[in-house]
Chain A
Amino acid sequence: MTVLVWAEHNGVALKDATLNAVTAAAQLGAVHVLVAGFGVDSVAAQAAQIAGVEKVLVADDAAYAHGLAENIAPLVVAVMADHDAFVATATTTGKNIAPRVAALLDVAQLSEILSVEGPKTFTRPIYAGNAIATVESSDAKLVITARGTAFAKAEATGGSAVIETVSGAGESGLSSFIGAELAKSERPELTSAKIIVSGGRALKDADTFAATILPLADKLGAAVGASRAAVDAGYVSNDYQVGQTGKIVAPEVYVAVGISGAIQHLAGMKDSKTIIAINKDEDAPIFQVADFGLVADLYTAVPELTGKL
């Protein structure tokens, strides 16, 4: 089986999410990586270094610069003529493109797989991870999104794949990119951080969230996350959200501050290696999954913790 992996990148550098997809794909067969973008020679060169990648296919066209699914999907479909499976990590980019590819190929997509059980058999979470389904595809080709935290990162170096050029139909004329407001942060990225400090509704407002959570995160060198309630209330922007429909994370240590632990939040973080919860309500559901729970008022406990670290 030959598997086409979607390369996640920002136009300049490859993103780590690509490495998770390569690991998932390698369990199915030979791995080719598709780098679609504009002026992406450096990204292609990086992709060629990933251990286990046989071939890198580069589609360099202004139409592919912003990852618009309307332009990208026909390209992927064309390249899929010579491949048996398409694998993307379940990022917002992967989730946007893969189903469009699946429909054009007339294939049922397997979303957010957690493991490869056989050539066409996979496990995937349903009901916010409260159940795990083992599913087998009957389609000739596979279209898969893989949950990043379920697959280790492939080695970023050590490979020496050949680089080939491919081309697609280019501009569809259906959509155009207007702009982006991307969060700039010196802190580690949520989905790849070793430590995460997350805040919930109990943080009251944006200023309190910043004054309480950020110093602790900085002391620990941690990424900052938030519950849906905190994002909805405007304490932080959407890219901080951890949960069923936000980001799925699995750091070494997850510190939940003032988060009650709704199942939708737990779905996004319960695979963390160690969970620490600070909450003044000793009956909060978060304590049912926490390895270490501190029942305390966060407004005294967190500053004390930050001060003593």
Chain B
Amino acid sequence: MKIVVPVKRVLDYNVKPRVKADGSGVDLANVKMSMNPFDEIAVEEAVRLKEQGTASEVVVVSVGPAKASETLRSALAMGADRAIHVVSEDEVEPLAVAKILKGVVVDETPDLVILGKQAIDDDSNQVGQMLAALLGRPQGTFASKVEMDGASVLVTREVDGGLETVRLALPAIVTTDLRLNEPRYASLPNIMKAKSKPLAAKAPADYGVDITPRLKVLQVKEPAQRSAGIKIADVDALIGKLKELGVA
């Protein structure tokens, strides 16, 4: 069984985003970039399935700028077997990413595609569902548990009311939620080994995909800031405030 895992290079989740003064976007110059945390969970899940003997090969894909190759090397260091880098210095919207990934899936014919449920930069939460739609395949979004079961996969999903389990016919698309697993740290020997693993460079045009944006960003601004309030002395003062608010 083959698994394809798409990954994205994003602003590191510990870095506070700064909006550019000209309102054109968020400043990504000279800041720490990392693999999208949900994608790390996706890579981990795929590698575990390989270690259990369920999967035979894990292929990681990234659509993004030249430096996204570093993100792919991180995924290879975690245990993926090879990488495909679809190079685009321009921003690629989720729909176009899904179309490129469809091309990759048609070439690679995996049984499972595991993606992060959303990237923490644009917070779109779209690509997995879109890929499933374009392929006409089932989707198990926001997964907290993935169990292979013959020609199908059982996916437990984190939904607003609790948990829900669905059975999906393979090939299927799964998107990860936070509690699916805890991604490993790559060991130094594995980081060294990852440098010699195969990484193929492609272009969106190789998959016949037009990446012209459909959405025009008119402005990016800081949200309204909340200012810090006051410190209150003790529980009695707090009760006073709750009474003023009409809730106690």
Interface residues of A (CB under 8 A from B): 66, 68-70, 73, 91-93, 95-104, 106-112, 121, 125-139, 172-183, 191, 194-195, 220, 228, 231-232, 237-239, 244-245, 247, 252-253, 263-264, 270, 274-276, 278, 282, 287-296, 301, 304-305, 308-309
B137 CB contacts on chain A under 8 angstroms: 174
For residue B219, give the distance in angstroms from its CB to the closest CB of chain A. Answer: 4
Q: Across the interface, do A131 and B17 meet the contact criterion of CB distance under 8 Å?
A: yes
Name the one of B94, B141, B213 contacting A96, with C-beta atoms under 8 angstroms.
B141
A183 CB contacts on chain B under 8 angstroms: 161-162
B202 located at the interface, meaning its Cβ lies under 8 Å from any Cβ of chain A in the complex: no
Q: Which of B55-63, B184-192, B228-236 contacts A (4 or more CB under 8 A)?
A: B228-236
B108 located at the interface, meaning its Cβ lies under 8 Å from any Cβ of chain A in the complex: no
From 84 to 125 in chain B, residues with beta carbon under 8 angstroms from any chain A beta carbon are 93-95, 98, 117-118, 120-125
For residue B113, give the distance in angstroms from its CB to the closest CB of chain A. Answer: 14
Write out, one digit per residue, whether chain B residues 147-170 have a CB within 8 A of any chain A CB (1) or not (0).
000000010011111111111110
A287 CB contacts on chain B under 8 angstroms: 228, 231
Q: Across the interface, do A126 and B235 meet the contact criterion of CB distance under 8 Å?
A: no
Q: Across the interface, do A125 and B223 meet the contact criterion of CB distance under 8 Å?
A: yes
A276 CB contacts on chain B under 8 angstroms: 238, 241-242
From 208 to 229 in chain B, residues with beta carbon under 8 angstroms from any chain A beta carbon are 213-223, 226, 228-229
User: A174-B168, A181-B162, A294-B232 in contact; A129/B94 too (CB < 8 A)?
Assistant: no
Q: Across the interface, do A132 and B223 meet the contact criterion of CB distance under 8 Å?
A: yes
For residue B12, give the distance in angstroms from its CB to the closest CB of chain A. Answer: 12
Residue of A nearest to B133 (CB): A103
The number of chain B residues with a CB under 8 A from chain A is 81
Q: Across the interface, do A308 and B125 meet the contact criterion of CB distance under 8 Å?
A: no
B205 located at the interface, meaning its Cβ lies under 8 Å from any Cβ of chain A in the complex: no
Q: Across the interface, do B216 and A173 meet the contact criterion of CB distance under 8 Å?
A: no
User: A109-B126, A309-B239 in contact; A92/B159 too (CB < 8 A)?
Assistant: yes
Q: How many A-B residue pairs have CB under 8 A?
A: 259
Q: Across the interface, do B117 and A245 meet the contact criterion of CB distance under 8 Å?
A: yes
A175 CB contacts on chain B under 8 angstroms: 138-140, 166-169
Q: Across the interface, do B133 and A99 meet the contact criterion of CB distance under 8 Å?
A: yes
Q: Across the interface, do B164 and A308 meet the contact criterion of CB distance under 8 Å?
A: no
Residue of B nearest to A309 (CB): B248
User: A125-B223, A183-B161 in contact; A99/B217 too (CB < 8 A)?
Assistant: no
User: A121-B218, A175-B169, A181-B163 in contact; A252/B125 too (CB < 8 A)?
Assistant: no
Q: How far is the CA of A130 from the CA of B163 in the complex (A)?
A: 29
Task: Give the secondary structure class of B's interface.
Answer: mixed
B146 located at the interface, meaning its Cβ lies under 8 Å from any Cβ of chain A in the complex: no
For residue A74, give the distance in angstroms from its CB to the closest CB of chain B. Answer: 9
Q: How far is the CA of A183 from the CA of B166 in the complex (A)?
A: 18
Ordered nearest first, which 4 A-B pairs have the shortest CB separation?
A: A99-B129, A291-B229, A108-B214, A103-B133
Q: Across the interface, do B95 and A106 meet the contact criterion of CB distance under 8 Å?
A: yes
Name the one of A127, A132, A135 contacting B120, with C-beta atoms under 8 angstroms.
A127
Q: Across the interface, do A301 and B214 meet the contact criterion of CB distance under 8 Å?
A: no
26 contacting pairs across A/B (C-beta < 8 A):
A70-B138, A102-B130, A103-B131, A107-B95, A108-B214, A108-B215, A111-B123, A126-B26, A127-B120, A134-B220, A136-B215, A137-B215, A138-B216, A175-B169, A181-B164, A182-B162, A183-B162, A194-B247, A232-B178, A239-B160, A244-B123, A288-B228, A292-B238, A292-B241, A294-B238, A301-B235
Q: How far is the CA of A180 from the CA of B159 in the complex (A)?
A: 9
Q: How far is the CA of A253 from the CA of B129 in the complex (A)?
A: 35
Residue of B nearest to A282 (CB): B231
User: A102-B95, A180-B164 in contact; A130/B141 too (CB < 8 A)?
Assistant: no
Q: Across the interface, do B248 and A131 meet the contact criterion of CB distance under 8 Å?
A: no
Q: How far is the CA of A247 from the CA of B161 in the complex (A)?
A: 11
Q: Across the interface, do B19 and A270 meet the contact criterion of CB distance under 8 Å?
A: no
- Given contact pairs A69-B129, A108-B93, A175-B168, enumerate 20 new A-B contacts (beta carbons under 8 Å): A69-B132, A91-B160, A92-B141, A100-B132, A103-B95, A103-B130, A103-B134, A107-B214, A109-B94, A127-B11, A130-B222, A132-B221, A138-B216, A179-B165, A181-B163, A228-B178, A264-B13, A276-B238, A292-B238, A308-B239
Residue of B nearest to A121 (CB): B218
Q: How far is the CA of A213 from the CA of B53 in the complex (A)?
A: 44
User: A264-B13, A293-B229 in contact; A136/B216 too (CB < 8 A)?
Assistant: yes
User: A182-B161, A290-B229, A309-B248 in contact; A99/B125 too (CB < 8 A)?
Assistant: yes
B11 CB contacts on chain A under 8 angstroms: 127
Q: Across the interface, do A293 and B230 meet the contact criterion of CB distance under 8 Å?
A: yes
A180 CB contacts on chain B under 8 angstroms: 159, 161-165
Q: Across the interface, do A69 and B95 meet the contact criterion of CB distance under 8 Å?
A: no
A110 CB contacts on chain B under 8 angstroms: 215
Q: Across the interface, do A131 and B162 meet the contact criterion of CB distance under 8 Å?
A: no
